[in-house]
Amino acid sequence: MLMGPLTGFSFIGSVRTYSEISAGVGEALSPLTGVWAPTFSACELAAVFLLPFVAIRMVGGDRESGALKLELQQSLSTASMIAAKTLVLLLGWLIAMLPPISAMLLWRSYGGSVYPPELMTLILGHILNAGLTIGLAAAMASLAEHHATAAILTLSVTVGTWVISLLDWGRAAEYTPAAMVAQFQHGLIRLDVICVVVVLIVLGLGLAAIWMRLGVAVRRRIYESIALAALVAVASFGCSLLRPSWDASEGRRNSLPEPDERVLRQIHGLTIEVHLASEDPRRVDLENRALSKLRRAMPDVRVTYIAATSTGLFEQASAGYGEIWYELGGRRTMSRATTAEAVLESIYAVAQATPPAESEESIFRGHPLAAQPRGAALVFYALWPCVFLACGILIRRSLK
C-alpha cells in the first residue's frame, strides 16, 4: 500500500522539475534520469526498509512459530522450500512495482516519450536489487533465532554496503546494491554486475537453505556454509572479469559517440597515466565522463592512477599533479582536461588517427516536455492504496 504514495511523491516531483527544466534548457533532457530514476526510487526505499522484513517474516516465521518442525518432515528439500518462498516474494515485488510501472502510462498521457529498452533496464535493476535483498534477508532469517536479530543483521549488512559504496572500496564498490542500481538507472547493463549479483543471491538463498535444516549438526552446516562462500567468492571473481556491457539508454549516456567508438576499436595498446588523487573531483569527473565510456569501446586500455595522497590537497603544487598522459606506440601526449571530447582529442593525437566527422544524427536532442502531473495525485495517493487494500481483503476472504 505504501508503494503508491511513495511512487506518487517521487513521480509528481520529478515531472514538475522536468517540466521546469524543459521550459528553460529544453535540450538533451532524458526521461530516464529526469523521471524514471526518481520515480523508481520508491523501489529502492522499499527494498531497503520494507522488503527485508517481509522476507524475514516469510522465511523465519515458520521457525519461530514451530511450523518448520512440521514442514521439515516431508521429502521436499529446504532448497526447494526456499526457492518457492523466493518466487512468491519476487512475485509480490513485481506487484509492488505496478505503481511505478503505471507511471509510464500517465507520462504517455502527458505526451511524454518512453524508450522501452532503458525503462526495462531500470526495471531489471530493481528486480535484481530485490533479489539481493531477499537473499540477504532469507540467510539472516535462517541464521538467527528471532526476527529482530535477523532484521538487525540484515540492516547492518545493508549499511555496510553503503559504507563500501561511499568509500569507493575498489571493485567491491561497483557491486554494492546502491552502485548496481545506479548503473541500471543510467541505462547501463553490465554482464559482470548481473552475474555477480546472481551469484550473491545464490549465496544468500543457499545459506538460508543450509541453516533451515534443523536436523543437521551445526558443525556440518558451518562447513557447508564455508564451502558455499568459498565457491561464491571464486565465482564472483570470475564473473567480475566479464567485460560485455550494453548501453540501453536512448541518449547513449554511457557511451562515446558511435563514430568515435568505431575509430577507437581500431586502436590497441593505449596507456593512460592519470596524476590525480582518488578523492580529487577532477578524477571523478574524468572517470565518469570519459574513462568509463572509453573502457567500453577500448577494453584493452590500461589506466593507471598516480598520487601520493588521497585528496591531492598538498600535491597541487607538485610538478606533474593534474597531468593526464596518453601513450601509444612510443608516442606520448599530455592533457589536463577531463571531458570526453578532450580525452578523444588526445587519443587521436597520440594514435595519429583521423577523428570522425561530426554527425548531426549522433547528437541526442532529448525529449523536453513541459507538462503538469495531471491526475497523478489521485492515482498514487488514492487509487493504488485502495486497489491494494481491496485485493488484500478479497484474498483474505477467499482463503477463509
Partner 1 sequence: MLFEVQGLSKRFGHTAALTGVGFQVRRGEVLGLIGPNGAGKSTLFECLAGVLPADSGKVLPEGRLIDLLFYIPDGITPWPAQSVLWALNFTLGFLGGDAALRDEVIEQLDLSQLLGQRIGTLSKGQRKRVLLAIGLLTRQPALLIDEPFEGLDLRQARDIATALRTHAARGRTLFLSIHQIGDAARFCDRFVLLNAGRVRGEGTVEELATLAKRDTDDLEEVFLALT
Contact status: 398 vs partner 1 (CB under 8 A): no
DSSP assigned state of 291: I
Of residues 25, 28, 76, 159, which one binds partner 1 by CB under 8 A? Answer: 76
Nearest 10 degrees: Cα torsion 64, 69, 71, 73: 170
Least separation in angstroms between CB 59 and partner 1:
14
The smaller minimum CB distance to partner 1, of residues 74 and 354, is found at 74
Secondary structure string (H, E, C) spanning 172-234: HHHHCHHHHHHHHHCCEEEHHHHHHHHHHHHHHHHHHHHHHCCCCCHHHHHHHHHHHHHHHHH
Least separation in angstroms between CB 142 and partner 1:
14
Nearest to 173 by CA among 185, 188, 184, 163: 163
The smaller minimum CB distance to partner 1, of residues 215 and 330, is found at 215
Distance CA(177)–CA(129), nearest Å, equals 6
Least separation in angstroms between CB 127 and partner 1:
27
Of residues 50, 53, 71, 285, which one binds partner 1 by CB under 8 A? Answer: 71
Of residues 17, 65, 80, 310, which one binds partner 1 by CB under 8 A? Answer: 65
Under a CB-based contact definition with an 8 Å cutoff, are residues 138 and 209 in contact?
no
Least separation in angstroms between CB 130 and partner 1:
23
Rg for the chain, CA atoms, rounded: 25
Least separation in angstroms between CB 391 and partner 1:
17
Helix-, strand-, coil-residue percentages of the chain, each rounded to 5: 65, 5, 30
Residue 334, SS3? Answer: strand
Of residues 44, 62, 192, 287, which one binds partner 1 by CB under 8 A? Answer: 62
Contact status: 260 vs partner 1 (CB under 8 A): no
Alpha carbon 65 to chain centroid, angstroms: 36
Name the segment binding partner 1 (CB under 8 A); options: 58-66, 138-146, 265-273, 363-371. Answer: 58-66
The smaller minimum CB distance to partner 1, of residues 28 and 76, is found at 76
Name the segment binding partner 1 (CB under 8 A); options: 152-160, 213-221, 321-329, 336-344. Answer: 213-221
Of residues 148, 159, 214, 233, which one binds partner 1 by CB under 8 A? Answer: 214
Contact status: 69 vs partner 1 (CB under 8 A): yes
Contact status: 72 vs partner 1 (CB under 8 A): yes
Least separation in angstroms between CB 395 and partner 1:
12
Q: What's the grid cell of residue 233? A: 567468492
Name the segment binding partner 1 (CB under 8 A); options: 21-29, 62-70, 240-248, 377-385. Answer: 62-70
Distance CA(38)–CA(306), nearest Å, equals 36
Contact status: 75 vs partner 1 (CB under 8 A): yes
Distance CA(47)–CA(87), nearest Å, equals 16
Task: Work out the number of other CB atoms within 10 angstroms of the CB of residue 235.
Answer: 17
- Site pattern 219..258 for partner 1 (x: CB under 8 A): -x--------------------------------------
- Site pattern 91..120 for partner 1 (x: CB under 8 A): ------------------------------
Least separation in angstroms between CB 141 and partner 1:
16
Q: What's the grid cell of residue 272? A: 593512460
Under a CB-based contact definition with an 8 Å cutoff, are residues 4 and 385 in contact?
yes
Nearest to 36 by CA among 109, 110, 123, 127: 123
Name the segment binding partner 1 (CB under 8 A); options: 66-74, 198-206, 249-257, 301-309. Answer: 66-74
Binding site for partner 1 (CB under 8 A): 62, 65-76, 214-218, 220, 399-400
